[in-house]
């Protein structure tokens, strides 16, 4: 089998010849619209040329051209790699058959849909007229709004009787597109995901060369040891890609969270020991209030890595959401054992210990000393963590140690005069406990000035306190008048 093209890689050992020529497809030639073959395959006595389809985009203006060219070339490079895989079988064997599914835009918006459609056309046009290629989508229907699951891919491949199924997803924009492609053998249902990022054209060659080398060896080698090694490398990279996709999704609406869960599950399926993915999966379930699934994810992370303090902490937050204070305290305590300077775990441990046996916050019989110890411990090893001062201030207000509360909160503000929560808690102290209304108003006003999110309520409280001050002044003047004898 002879292979040549202007994006090259080291030749797999069983190839007859390999003759890359990068100069044949220079950017200068591309800019002048000269179509140069990306790949020429000779299988037996038959030669298959795969042209560079990116020249069809060159009627765009320069800015748009430069943006789209990066991803378009990446797509074209993948087609040549895939073509080489399909035709890498011995010359006397039938060429494998490929089914190309419609592509999926992972972002909403016209730009993403247009790019997805165009990349699909590049794939279809590249393989047009080549033997063994079937396309489920077409130029009129290049996209689908729902990602293909592994089960969907296997079903489509089985129904059409092909050897390989290809699915593509696109994310990013407008200047940084990332193409995710999965190829599956429907007989075993195993997918081989990968991603090619749309990066600078001059830098792209080496990264694509590396991608070609890994995938070509994996998909064509007969050495089971090499194949297993390459499959592990590809699966790990793909798992990380799915994990990054999930992390990029923002929002806590059910649709977004379920998309995130789907991506994280794909990452875990490819790399079962991916503890960070389990933590993100647990948090997504927790946001959906599926607490059992969240606990399962966190516990699995702990089974994989028993010393993972963050997993114990996250498990504690689930129990805290469920008002299971004893279980939460146990989880936070374990996190602290593993990481004695885990501030958030100390703080949350103090928080759950505020509740007594009757589930009352600061209720009779709650462990005052333990709560104070946890918060003091944070200040001991990190005096700059101001939330601990607020926690202590609240504790001292509820134990009627008002001078200690005042000095603690003032220390927090002394350390950071822009600490919103410090000003707000100090205003509560003056307002509800000390009843120094002018001082409370000063603190509320400073909180509002800093842009605190409780500003509307603080303004209402200031108006009420001003009325109280005016009323007190009126009563004071009335009481100071001499009494007239009857």
Domain positions in the chain are 2-222
Give the model's confidence band at 221: pLDDT under 50 very low, under 70 low, under 90 confident, else very high: low
Instruction: Say what the pLDDT of residue 363 is.
Output: 73
Confidence of residue 99 (pLDDT cuts 50, 70, 90): confident
The DSSP secondary structure of 91-104, one letter per residue, reads TTSPPP-EEEPPBE
Check residue 173 and give its pLDDT: 59
* Residue 469 CB neighbours (<10 A): 13
> How high is the pLDDT of residue 359?
75
Q: Yes or no: say if 430 and 446 are a contact pair by the CB < 8 Å rule.
A: no
> pLDDT tens digits, residue range 151-166?
888 888 888 887 778 7
For residue 193, the cross-strand partners are 182
Residues facing 98 on adjacent strands: 133, 164
As a whole number of angstroms, the distance between CA 419 and CA 416 comes to: 5
Task: In whole angstroms, give the CA distance from residue 135 to residue 137.
Answer: 6
Interval 378-402 mean pLDDT: 94
User: Which 3 state secondary structure label does DSSP give 182?
Assistant: strand
The pair of three-digit structure tokens given for residue 332, joined into one six-digit string: 């936070």
Q: Are the CB atoms for 126 and 163 separated by under 8 Å?
A: no
54: its two tokens: 């990116």
How far CA 319 is from CA of 123, 292, 297, in Å, comes to 50, 10, 14
- DSSP category for residue 431: I
The model's pLDDT over 134-154, given as tens digits with 9 standing for 90+, comes to 666 655 566 677 778 888 888
Quick check: helix, strand or coil at residue 324?
coil
Cα separation of 20 and 266, whole Å? 35
pLDDT at residue 100 is higher than 70: yes
Average pLDDT, the chain: 74
Q: What residues form DSSP beta bridges with 4?
A: 19, 40
Q: What confidence tens digit (pLDDT) does each residue in 112-127 have?
A: 777 677 667 766 666 6
């Amino acid at each position: 089998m002879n292979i040549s093209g202007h994006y090259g890689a080291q030749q797999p050992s069983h190839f007859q010849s390999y003759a890359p020529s990068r100069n044949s497809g220079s950017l200068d030639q591309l800019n002048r619209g000269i179509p140069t073959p990306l790949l020429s395959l000779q299988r037996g006595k038959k030669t298959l040329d795969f042209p560079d389809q990116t020249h069809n985009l060159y009627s765009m203006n320069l800015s748009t051209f430069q943006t789209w060219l990066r991803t378009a070339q990446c797509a074209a490079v993948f087609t040549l790699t895939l073509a080489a895989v399909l035709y890498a079988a011995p010359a006397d064997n039938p060429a494998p058959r490929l089914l190309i599914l419609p592509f999926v835009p992972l972002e909403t918006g016209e730009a993403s849909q247009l790019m997805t459609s165009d990349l699909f056309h590049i794939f279809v046009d590249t393989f047009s007229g080549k033997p063994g290629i079937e396309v489920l989508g077409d130029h009129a229907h290049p996209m689908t709004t729902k990602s293909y699951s592994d089960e969907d891919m296997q079903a489509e491949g089985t129904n059409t009787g092909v050897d390989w199924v290809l699915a593509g997803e696109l994310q990013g924009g407008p200047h940084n597109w990332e193409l995710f492609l999965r190829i599956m053998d429907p007989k075993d249902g195993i997918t081989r995901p990968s991603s090619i990022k749309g990066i600078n054209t001059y830098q792209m060659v080496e990264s694509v060369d590396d991608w070609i080398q890994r995938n070509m060896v994996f998909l064509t080698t007969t050495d089971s040891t090499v194949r297993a090694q390459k499959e592990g490398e590809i699966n790990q990279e793909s798992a990380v890609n799915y994990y990054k996709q999930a992390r990029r999704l923002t929002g806590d609406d059910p649709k977004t969270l379920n998309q995130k869960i789907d991506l994280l599950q794909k990452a875990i399926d490819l790399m079962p020991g991916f503890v960070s993915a389990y933590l993100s999966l647990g948090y997504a379930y927790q946001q959906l209030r599926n607490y059992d699934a969240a606990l399962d994810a966190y516990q699995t992370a702990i089974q994989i890595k028993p010393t993972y303090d963050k997993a114990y902490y996250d498990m504690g937050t689930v129990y805290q959401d469920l008002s299971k204070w004893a279980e939460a305290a146990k989880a936070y305590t374990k996190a602290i054992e593993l990481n004695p300077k885990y501030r958030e775990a100390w703080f949350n441990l103090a928080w759950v210990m505020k509740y007594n046996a009757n589930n009352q916050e600061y209720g009779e019989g709650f462990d005052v000393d333990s709560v104070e110890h946890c918060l003091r411990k944070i200040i001991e090893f990190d005096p700059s963590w101001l939330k601990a001062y607020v926690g202590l201030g609240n504790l001292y207000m509820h134990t009627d140690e008002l001078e200690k509360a005042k000095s603690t909160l003032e220390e927090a503000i002394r350390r950071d005069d822009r600490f919103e929560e410090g000003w707000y808690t100090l205003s509560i102290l003056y307002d509800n406990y000390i009843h120094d209304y002018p001082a409370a108003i000063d603190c509320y006003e400073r909180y509002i000035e800093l842009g605190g999110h409780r500003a509307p309520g603080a303004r209402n409280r200031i108006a009420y306190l001003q009325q109280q001050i005016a009323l007190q002044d009126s009563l004071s003047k009335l009481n100071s008048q001499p009494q007239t004898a009857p």
